[in-house]
A and B are shown apart, each in its own frame.
Chain A
Amino acid sequence: MSEIIAIKPDSKTFLGFWIYLMTDCVLFASLFATYAVLHNNTFGGPSSNELFDLPFVLAETLILLTSSFTCGLGVLAARMNNKKQVLAWFGLTFLLGLAFLSLELSEFASFIYEGNSFTRSGFLSAFFTLVGTHGLHITIGLLWMFVLMARIARRGLNAISLKRLVLLSLFWHFLDIIWIFIFSIVYLMGVI
């Protein structure tokens, strides 16, 4: 249990995954640019100022930030070869991620229910595309996490699953960083 797994950082895998993350950053950057350009094109619909509920979004942000932290602790537990703790920390990360996703979907649902879906204006199209793409990444991350946890629960920790855990944690921290910018640029700058 206390035996530390010596991982050879398989640098090609990490470098490849890192390059993927950086290209994903470029994808998000183009969506941010689109949003910034279309932000004022409300076509008579609601503006960001009228639409956003800041305390609700702060709650989402804190949940995702905490999940990024517990994900890091999960990787530490994996390095200490402690399977129980890995499952506990990543289980918690999964639940927090799920909570974040349901808050985001309920926000989308309430906008659409009030007649402000992505077809309403250029601003809302850009908003739904940007925030929805992030939500899609979160969904994929949760799916990945679920499959990996099921595998570790059945077969235990080894060098391969540790490598996958580290890649997953990179992905999850990356999504948190993207969300920081969505929180700042879309929500905070949207209501001032």
Chain B
Amino acid sequence: MSHVYLETRNGALRLYLNGDLQLDSHDERLYHEPLASVPTALASARAPRRPLRVLILGGGDGLALREVLRFPGVREVHLVDRDPAVLRIGETALAELNRGAFRDGRVRVHVKDARDFLPEARGFDVVIHDLTYPGDVAGAALHTVAAYGQVRAALRPGGILAVNSLSPEDTPQAFGCVGRTLVATGFSALPHSVRVPSFEDEGYGRWGFYFASSRPIGLRELRRLRLPDGVALTPAGFLGGLAFPVAMARSMRVAPNRTSELLYHVYNGTPVRWAEPFRRLRIAPVPEVAGPRLTVADGFARWLRAPAGRRSLEELLACLPLSWRGQTRYALLEWSYQAEILLQQADVRAFVDQALRRAADLPRAWVRELRRLQARLREGVPPMNELLYHGYRVFAVYLLVLLLVNLFFPDNLYAKGFSSSSSSSRSFSSSSGSSSPFHGFAFSDPGSHYSTFRYRPAFYRRSYSSSTSDNVYDPEGKPQPALRFSFTDPQGNRRPVAAMMALTPELQLFETGAIGCTPPVPGYQCLLEPGGVRVLEGAGRPVTTLRPPARLFTDARARTQAQLVSLDRAAADHQRWLDWVGWGTRMPAGQEAASEMEALGSMKRALTTAQGTWSRAGSPPPQATFEPPGRWTALFPGVYLEPSPYATQEPTVVWANADGSLRRQSVQPPAQLADGDRFLFQLLQRRLTEGKDQSLSQPVAQWRAVHGAALDVKPGSS
């Protein structure tokens, strides 16, 4: 069975090679006349007295040959095609269409690869590059700087090269790459496009050519083209094909094809809309820069250099080069969800054991991870998240290789069966909440909830957020509701601040370096300062200053100092993560990694301020603290309930004031509300509702009855 397929359809002969349409006899002239007649006419005009020598690379169908042979000034034509099956068709089934071109005495046919012919080729006036679509390495290799250099050497000075050059509409980058490659080889290149209806029917878009020469081809030359009888194309018609959408210029600004750049663009291009405004484009030389290449490693590197905002997981997969027709971005992304199966089925122990056999050649950090993984795997295969905890670098890359091996096997993308039982959905959904490892953890941010694989104290887990339901975590890892104030500041400046971390279950550090007491009292800001607990009402007006137990001062000094050490360690560790897998921090979730670095910086500033305050304060003098007797119930640091010696009597409220005095007050409402009374009411109410102290039920009800709305919390509170 041959790769050549010839059919008759709707009265036309159609030739396919490897499934690609090469020609339809109804409209092939729209392609072959510009490709072959125009350069021959140009060469004829440039050397009117010289018998012309023409080289055709490819074109075994004989149709470009037909056009060249119309010129009586052509003395000899060398046609080089490596495909005997195509040549046979050219000599037989297409003989009528090509007007018996192969029987012309001027024709020499070379059944060989163009790459084998070109090194020795010299003295041609015209070279016609009529090769098939460069959809593989071999095809694209004939469009490199090196290959065009051989063509240039084959041409006489001022000779004309015409190149069949892909679709400027569907693959403008690839079209541009051909032009840049010509220019990089020393040609002046003129782009041209045509509409070939049969190509458009097959979905190939408009088609493109380049006309190139070491001596620029001018418009005057083109207007004066003399085309022989039998050619339907006119100079005016040809000139019309020099207009391209202005928008194309940008797409065509790509590097020349030195290795696999062209092939990259063939499969990874972005079509352009063929719409006004139009103008003639000039292919200018570009600086010597490397273009994108077809290897996954280079795709990765490109993604690393992408600007911020274009480094999501989807962009990462988008940077993996498509490398065959039919492979689409959508299919790649969708297939990645199937990777769950291969992760469950592959034997990670075998991988770890293999890798450790090469321990002598591996960096120590990798070996440590592998050993941790190996030790853990002895107890059984844990969930994926935990595997990542023990060895995230090596495991992440192991997963990636397994996925890529499958993604770049074409049959997999169109497989009729998936072994996953839940493989029904063929629609790509957002990465959040997906079961695919590549959306879950393999490249996820250490700042996300999968962060346990990094060293990080529990209370850094969610240190700062604008969410009003945010928590901070105490050293035991227990969440504490974050405090948030309209304004507070050790200097009394008014600006909004929020808590960054829980130093203890009773103390929270604010971003300003101030320390707040918890649990919060609605409508009040309670700051622990070296002089005591300063209570401010919502507008920032001081209400009272209290003497707390000594442990609060001790905790504040000790915790701020200890946190600085831990923070530096966490920041250094986080920086190591950023350094190694910087691309991982650019995922949407991974943007938290970058913002986490900022958050760590904010925390450090806050801790440094707090630590400075508390280290300067020294140990608090005894009069600054108050230790309540054991029988007393703490409503707040510095405010207590002293039980009555008599069971039938209500307790008494005791204020431990900063001036060293103790002020006692009834739990019953006062006749007139003073500043501290509303604060006290909040404490009593909290004790009743949260502390379930029913002894306060009647007093609280009485406060409500007597003072009603006057007890309400003022605006501007947390």
Please say whether chains A and B are actual partners in one complex.
Answer: no
